[in-house]
Structure 1
């Protein structure tokens, strides 16, 4: 079994306008999502833990404070565990060939090489702070300036190197200013935390050197390393009120040029040409709409040219695309190195369009502010996007494994099986992989999330009761549908209960006897004894539905009370075979 594995969870969103959330989980033998880091605009950093291992109950276990200094970047220290995904070995039966461990040093180690837990944060004033969790439960905290001349930092991101160092990228928000990079080394000396910083090569965005675009994009709005464990590739986005441009840069070693006088000198045996590190631009987009959010893939696919060629040859596209959300509500999937468009999603209409196709209907802009995403994150499989819009609503969008490319169904299923093996191997939540195939897998999970969020406020406690009642109805519906079994053992694509629900949904007749006449009874076999044992449960469901319907006039006449979600769920043609809640998230690219 692998050692304790720390993952940054797929949500890293802005909360209440000032709070940054970074969730991680220890993926060894315990349940995922066991700890939570939060930081706010007042400089308060808190570490939360589950109460009695309950995901709906959290308590603050540790905290640190930088009073009045807002936190703009936050990350857990790396624990030294990194896995590589070998796409070309997807057909192998040896899991050691499919998924291998990469040599990677922790950010800080205890006696015996055990990684030390802790977190690192960057503030607006250019301060980096590190908090270390000692085995006895105490907290070691230290702060240091990123450089001698401290200045305002508008954006920052954190990455890690294989040697155990930390790299911080920072910018003051102006595209005419350089993007600075700093190496941060953390150590413990005499029971005190010590931070050493070193300035690394910086870069200027190429759009500022273009005479046409020099003043077109004055602000840097997004700064992200392409992966958490690769500090040599960074994504930058400069914007204005009219549009944005995205650039991808890479740090490379280059030979130091020498004067012509020394070039003709005979080299000494064993002498090497001096090398320097220099940022080189890999690709850039054309003028885009104004970007509101950026999401990067999390699959551990190496981003060297060789590995990308293998992924392209095997047509394994998950993990190769990044997502850009725009202020007009649109989302684009771009190749994370070439920045070529792979797919487009139109949030306003809920339809998707392949690259090169013309839209069937010209979309007109509606009056008022357009619904767009303020924060966007990929799931671990890159088959789902989770975003928060400008109205505070949470959305989940499923992404096709083909990323807009033409692939046959067998190839798609083979890639999904490979991803499912990977997540079973790491014991990560599996339903992110199946979200593209079965939408209903996520429906109850989303209801549970809504119930947990509503419990956080006393004003929405009634809604939490509604969602818990809905989960109960879903469980009862699944139990009743499971009583039906197919007449033959050849299992069809849908279960008898699902086929019966589909028939009842399509039939608008309110007379249940007429609906039953049109059913082919030979397709459905009902187990009598289990149904008889559930007689009291069926009677309870009938009483519950009748109570809700009888209480509906009181709810509608009361203007100050919201309509319960359970009443909305059951105010449809009532049938014991109907799922209590069915919804289909939008499809990104088909």
Structure 2
């Protein structure tokens, strides 16, 4: 369990007001990680204004790749009691001890700009637990075919019902809340299109209202919720309930039924249970379902200041014989029932402070994953989920932040772990202490816990992310540098075995994953840049071909894009002769649309030039990495775009790319197409005449260099492997030792989406939190084509990273 980093506040002074806060039990510090690897955490101090005299419970968000770049979502006057993401990672639920619950989402998908989607207030209630409605989608690895190379066989959609159905069986968006007085509240979120009001209903969990100290919620495969609650008294039972929420006639109906309960002292071991029954300070502090979906096991933490015990209980079906007097005389009768059975326990000589379980069950019907528990002595224990046997443990050594103050001016304060959370793939553990500092640890592989991280396991996890759309950043942070090239090769081989339809569907996501792997090594930066260029080329090609419409006279069996690909494959080197084989009507586009795409057309021309001028300096590649100039598919795609540009230039000459030429009569487009056509014939060993022609290009036309490197400061970078862990970071301060290379344009910022120069210091722009690419927010020509292009990158950068707004101070 390697310690990756520690990130804390810059100041080391503390006020008397802050001292009083530390003397009481810290309740409002929470942390959670989303499926997109965005962390949300609450603090009891203002990380941006350390001199604040007023207490507040603050909620911050940050990307896991750059945790020092935090943004405050909420400053609350009451302690935060629930902090949770939904399955998509878009909605953040924040609830407090006064009954106020809010759901936030990003505005225009900007990570540092949040708006409220839903707000409800349960006056006088302390919200203990909450859960978003399940969408009914669940994908797992098929254990019987986990070694299969075909994605459709390796990964299967598990039958799972959504929590609340709307008209037509569509899943509803909403959340369910549980308060300390045993009140249930279900809220259906309004739909953005119709702006319908919030639908809310309340109901008692039990026949009468009960006092609850700790609780947890999980999902049943029939669409119901499973709730486990305790009032904190170890002599009282752990009570379980099944809750269903239905929508009928614009109303919400909650139904709660009691399930079997169990007592902790019924466990067959005596030493700990004797102390629990005798020590009045012993309390039930934590309850967690082993799995978030279709769970049948509970882990319960109970104990006092000097000793704690974790017990694992499982709900099992048993067969009980029926006496012959009560049954038929001729046959033996049996009665099927369910019963809570004690499984195992873990005992430790300290108080439990936090508990976390794995969020995903990667293998269907097979339990895999961990239970991670922290204690008051700041020890962290990773246990097997089924047996509670130790896997690995570590101790968080925290020195008092204020120990060096002169003459003991400020009281030395003990710092303890308060909250923990695992990433969805289970590769890293996030820890928050009582001084509002964050820590990140590596965890062993979930499926192959007894073995170190292996290439087959990592390939399976990346394929799972490819199929489900989940983010894979937490896996990048635990990879070893010597695993990158073999992992890329294995992932490529596996992807190439898929049927063409599967490859086409997941192609863009596959390119993003490969690019992120190459960016982790210093030797892979050129490969990552080439893949980034190819990804943009692929997207532009898709956008351009989507503008083509078949003419009325032609056959609809073959689209214009197919006709263009067939003509390109014939190997014609003269672009004008090639146009004679195409139907002009099929490639006609509105002139205003063509003019709005000029910057993308210009980028295509510059890319073709940059590829050709590098041929004389290239040598036959010995590595297995990606190179754009040796990718026949990419070169043919580039030739297709040049043909389209040639046709569109006849319709709208102003949309053609602009080149600075030494000879005004030189046809650059025809020259580029001819040279690329010759290169496609032999990409590994270009002939001498082609190399000579490419050598003459810089003297014939000015080559606009493409942006090869991006200045970014991130954890997932080659610099991480060169540092001694753990890293010491500060909120709001970028570590210089994690900074990448400078931009190839001295100070000029380029829009990575529209490919326009934004200047040296644009007033406002949005920047990717992963790759560092920048994009403007000011709208350009609003044609349908360019609107569709902008919408393609509204949710995230082309690398998959989220956008963050940057405002220049001057």
TM over 0.5: yes
* 1:550-569 map, 5 Å: 565=733, 569=736
Per the TM alignment, residue 75 of structure 1 is displaced from its structure 2 partner at its CA by 0.5
CA spacing shift, 1:406–1:231, aligned 2, 3 Å:
closer
2:484 counterpart residue number: none
Asked if 1:420 corresponds to 2:494, the answer is no
1:56 counterpart residue number: 112
TM-score (norm 2): 0.49
Residues 464-501 of structure 1, C-alpha deviations (whole Å, 9 max, x = no match):
xxxxxxxxxxx9xx99x869x999944599xxxxxxxx
SS of match in other structure, 1:52: helix
Would you say the 8 A contact 2:131–2:175 is kept in 1?
A: yes
* 1:530-569 map, 5 Å: 565=733, 569=736
2:475 to 425, 433, 436: 433
Per the TM alignment, residue 111 of structure 1 is displaced from its structure 2 partner at its CA by 1.7
Per the TM alignment, residue 179 of structure 1 is displaced from its structure 2 partner at its CA by 0.8
Per the TM alignment, residue 322 of structure 1 is displaced from its structure 2 partner at its CA by 1.9
1:131 counterpart residue number: 187
Bigger strand fraction = 1
CA spacing shift, 1:294–1:403, aligned 2, 3 Å:
farther
Query: Could you say which structure has the greater relative contact order, defined with CA pairs below 8 angstroms and 6 or more residues apart?
Result: 2
Residues 213-252 of structure 1, C-alpha deviations (whole Å, 9 max, x = no match):
3453421111011111123211111021002100111111
1:378 counterpart residue number: 422
2:147 counterpart residue number: 91
Per the TM alignment, residue 42 of structure 1 is displaced from its structure 2 partner at its CA by 1.2
Residues 167-207 of structure 1, C-alpha deviations (whole Å, 9 max, x = no match):
21111011111111111121233332111111111111137
Distance in 1, Cα, partners of 2:127 & 2:41: 13
Per the TM alignment, residue 565 of structure 1 is displaced from its structure 2 partner at its CA by 3.6
Distance in 2, Cα, partners of 1:488 & 1:373: 55
Per the TM alignment, residue 35 of structure 1 is displaced from its structure 2 partner at its CA by 1.8
Would you say the 8 A contact 1:71–1:124 is kept in 2?
A: yes
1:338 to 387, 394, 398: 387
CA spacing shift, 1:140–1:565, aligned 2, 3 Å:
closer
2:243 counterpart residue number: 184
Per the TM alignment, residue 283 of structure 1 is displaced from its structure 2 partner at its CA by 1.3
2:351 counterpart residue number: 290
Gaps of 5+ in 2: 1-33, 44-56, 58-78, 277-281, 400-410, 482-518, 530-616, 626-697, 712-729, 744-810
Would you say the 8 A contact 1:330–1:372 is kept in 2?
A: no
2:758 counterpart residue number: none
TM-score (norm 1): 0.65
Q: Bigger shift: 90-99 or 396-405?
A: 396-405
Number of residues of Structure 1 aligned to a counterpart in Structure 2: 446
2:82 counterpart residue number: 20
* 1:103-252 map, 5 Å: 103-135=159-191, 136=194, 137-206=196-265, 212-214=271-273, 216-217=275-276, 218-252=282-316
SS of match in other structure, 2:296: strand
SS of match in other structure, 1:213: helix
SS of match in other structure, 1:425: helix
SS of match in other structure, 1:202: coil
Per the TM alignment, residue 402 of structure 1 is displaced from its structure 2 partner at its CA by 7.8
SS of match in other structure, 1:266: coil
Distance in 1, Cα, partners of 2:120 & 2:732: 41
Per the TM alignment, residue 277 of structure 1 is displaced from its structure 2 partner at its CA by 2.0
CA spacing shift, 1:341–1:229, aligned 2, 3 Å:
same
Would you say the 8 A contact 2:36–2:471 is kept in 1?
A: no
CA spacing shift, 1:240–1:8, aligned 2, 3 Å:
farther
Distance in 2, Cα, partners of 1:389 & 1:242: 20
Structural RMSD (CA):
4.5
Would you say the 8 A contact 2:100–2:122 is kept in 1?
A: yes
Would you say the 8 A contact 2:382–2:390 is kept in 1?
A: yes
2:787 counterpart residue number: none
2:441 to 370, 393, 397: 397
Asked if 1:77 corresponds to 2:133, the answer is yes
Per the TM alignment, residue 34 of structure 1 is displaced from its structure 2 partner at its CA by 2.1
Distance in 1, Cα, partners of 2:96 & 2:741: 48
CA spacing shift, 1:564–1:188, aligned 2, 3 Å:
closer
CA spacing shift, 1:402–1:200, aligned 2, 3 Å:
closer
Distance in 2, Cα, partners of 1:399 & 1:335: 12
Per the TM alignment, residue 368 of structure 1 is displaced from its structure 2 partner at its CA by 6.1
Q: Which is greater in Rg?
A: 2
CA spacing shift, 1:200–1:563, aligned 2, 3 Å:
closer
Distance in 2, Cα, partners of 1:39 & 1:373: 21
SS of match in other structure, 2:305: coil
Would you say the 8 A contact 2:84–2:93 is kept in 1?
A: yes
CA spacing shift, 1:284–1:214, aligned 2, 3 Å:
closer
CA spacing shift, 1:368–1:344, aligned 2, 3 Å:
farther
SS of match in other structure, 1:203: coil
Would you say the 8 A contact 1:11–1:22 is kept in 2?
A: no
